[in-house]
Structure 1
Amino acid sequence: MTDLYRLFPEEMEEMVKKLGYERFRADQILHYIYKEFPKTINDMLQLPAAMREKLIADGYTLGSAKQTHMIQSDNEDTVKLLLELDDKKSVETVLMRYRPLKLNTKTRHTVCVSTQVGCAMGCTFCATGQMGFERNMKAEEIVTQVIHFANLLKERGEHVTNLVFMGMGEPLANYDEMIRAIRLLTNPRAFGLGQRHITVSTIGLVSGISKLAGEDLQIGLAVSLHAPNDTLRRRLVPTASANSVSEIIESGREYFKRTGRRVTFEYALIEGVNDTPEIANELAELLDGNGSHINLIPLNPTAGDFSRPAKKRILEFERVLYRHNINCTVRVEKGVEIAAACGQLRTDVLNEKDANLP
């Protein structure tokens, strides 16, 4: 079985040729799947019936995930889907609408995709990290997440503007399929999203960051730091190496040097753990002169025992960094009321299923 969302345009042309049809049929298929979002191969009515029958008979499929749950915030700015894959495993994907804060700016529609079913990194404050690792996702399963929301937005007269690899799983631990998905989604003959509108978030797999820097892609990189020293970081990220902080900072410098793209360090603020003024000062010293940006993320409630800091503590942490001339922002919160943090919906659904077992 081969999902059409897996094929690059050149591979689509070769497939069409092997079926005995002209090249323009590949362009028709590409237009259908990336612009019209058909549910089945038989919905592509411009293709000859015999061709559609041949595609199905030869084992081609369309879309590798079906929606089983959808929740959205009261203002509809955040929509979260639970998608069931062909093997009955499920993953989450989220759409976030960012309304313009300034004149002459446009609304952004950002899709947050998953790259793995579960995660092996074991972050103690993350719902996905607490569920363990099941398997890597295929490129077409990643692409399909974007397609689900592109279809929803089309019905509203809108479109996907940005993409972040910040959902379930560690993207760089599923490197080849992640890169294939990025190249499919940025190919002008496929989905056609601009490279600079994509960000890959990683817990800090240094070898993967180095490899990504050599891909000749103009995508953003966000590295989850969460602590200014190795002792605290290993408490939060048990799989981190003994020198992970210095390795991450150096890999960020190297990525910027090779790509010209500024690196963002993500910092989940956790009450009583990594949110004190003393730790903020230590973080400022670590990043002094680095030229990077730090994104402070008040923790979303998860299945763990951690809590988000009070707003006063968040603002004080931010002020300390500003006093040291560290470029930072506090992430605009989206979807707290609908459990939009990675893995929360899947965890809730699985727990509900377990509770209903005899």
Structure 2
Amino acid sequence: MSDTMQIRKANSEDIPKIIELLKISLGESLIPKSEKLWRWKHIDNPFGASTVLLAEENEQIIGLRAFMNWEWKDQDQSYKTVRAVDTATHPAHQGKGIFKNLTLKGLEEIKQNTAFVFNTPNQKSKPGYLKMGWEEQGRMPIQLKINPFAFKGKIPLELFSWNGLKLSDKLFENPGPGIQTNYSRAYFEWRYSANPMFDYQFLTDNDSYLIVYRYKQHKFGVELRIVDFLVNKNIFNSDKRKQLSYELKLRCKRVFLTTVSGNHYKNMNFQYPFLGLLPILKIGPMITLKNIGLSSSEFEELLNTESWIYSLGDLELF
């Protein structure tokens, strides 16, 4: 780090300059860079505002690093964690170790209240994380259903509104055992209803089940991505299961590909409608973890994907 570069925490007044740096460094790509998205992601998060660090030189922001708060739960055990997400370095200042310095400083900032850090790096960034002590958990298992008869179809038009839903509180109680997001009504409203990036749809009877999904257009056709599925096991009976199965199968017939988290499907396969004969495949995003506040044995257990029931909604990029 150069003598003239300073690292400090970001504040709300920095947001316009942060968006400008993201655009200069990364372009628009698949994820739009906007103040609305930044505020939703890093300020409105029900788990708490993100820790965001900036690198400055000559009063110019030349780098940023964001750690987004997240909570996981395994029955009575809860984990306060962070997800290493947005990072950017100004093209004119690359090669100065800005990414590494911001990341290490960020780890110092969060260490008092954090169990571990998780993220889904790409092949370009993963080596840097591994050098800083991250460990590979492996690729997220995915369950697929292919429908070749819907090859290259168009996204079906569905216009559902989250407003007016009267979801039972029982739906947000973690079924366990297994590590999963610490669900709440506030989390679902933030993650799916208020999300400025994607239009999420749902299937629910308000009491016994809630499936959240979205459509994604690919060159090969349309994907139906099931991102979350909650049930109240006490009242999710055979009649409710048949009702849900019928509605979901109607949607699967319209698309070329249906996807769901393999861990989620395996844990709840008696509740999911039948999705086909393909085996669960480890083809999802690469997941890496870094221990912050756990014992070695506790952290070692987290590296086992069988301990987790994460959904696609937990780990998809946003």
Pair in the same fold by TM > 0.5: no
Name the structure with the higher helix share: 1
Q: TM-score, normalised by structure 2?
A: 0.33
Please report the TM-score for the alignment, with normalisation by the length of structure 1: 0.31
Structure number with higher relative contact order (C-alpha < 8 Å, ≥ 6 residues apart): 2
Give the structure with the larger strand fraction. 2
